[in-house]
Structure 1
Amino acid sequence: MRLRIQHTTWTRPALILTDTPRPNCPRCEGDGGHNRDYGDYETGEYAGTEWEPCSCWDETRRWTLLPLPRMPRRRTAWRDPWETGGYSDEPPF
């Protein structure tokens, strides 16, 4: 098991500990899986891509280390700091 720390915002902000793919895996070469393109049966045209994870790691293995507080959003409206209300005493340059 090769662990790393990640930041997640899903459900609530937190620091999590996750598993990573084995870097010297002969099947996936450290990518953690393979992309497989597939097409329609009738026409043979491209229809999408599927991700096939490798057995050298588990994508769902994760532990919450530290829940982080939600930062309140600013409620102030954005104002242009150079705006003077439409009138200026300065000559144009």
Structure 2
Amino acid sequence: MLRLRIERARWPRHGLYLTDTPRPDCPDCEGDGGIEYPYGDSEGEYAGSNWEPCHCVNESCRWLILPLPSRRLPRNATDPWLNEPPF
């Protein structure tokens, strides 16, 4: 059963997407949607973490609802509003 929510994403395209959410009563991930595994380097210091998605959420279920424009300017153009005062 899908539990849907609206999410703003930049990849693969800027827009609002309808996505699946993790099951809040999942015994494996406790509603987080995945399990984080921190790891260390050869000295034993924290070096980062890996994220393994849980089986209770399907990350491939995404539907684009509303495409949003990306706020990119051409390299040779300047923003005309940069010199405007805030009021």
Give 1:68's aligned residue.
68
What pairs with 1:27-46 in structure 2 (closer than 5 Å)?
27-40=28-41, 42-46=42-46
In terms of Rg, which structure is larger? 1
Which amino acid in structure 2 is aligned with residue 47 of structure 1?
A
SS at match of 1:26: coil
Separation in structure 2 between the aligned mates of residue 72 and residue 47 of structure 1, nearest angstrom: 33
Give 1:25's aligned residue.
26
Which amino acid in structure 1 is aligned with residue 38 of structure 2?
D
How many residues are matched?
81
TM-score (norm 1): 0.66
Provide the identity percentage: 54
Q: Which runs of no fewer than 5 residues in structure 1 stay unpaired?
A: 82-93
Q: CA RMSD of the aligned region, Å? A: 2.7
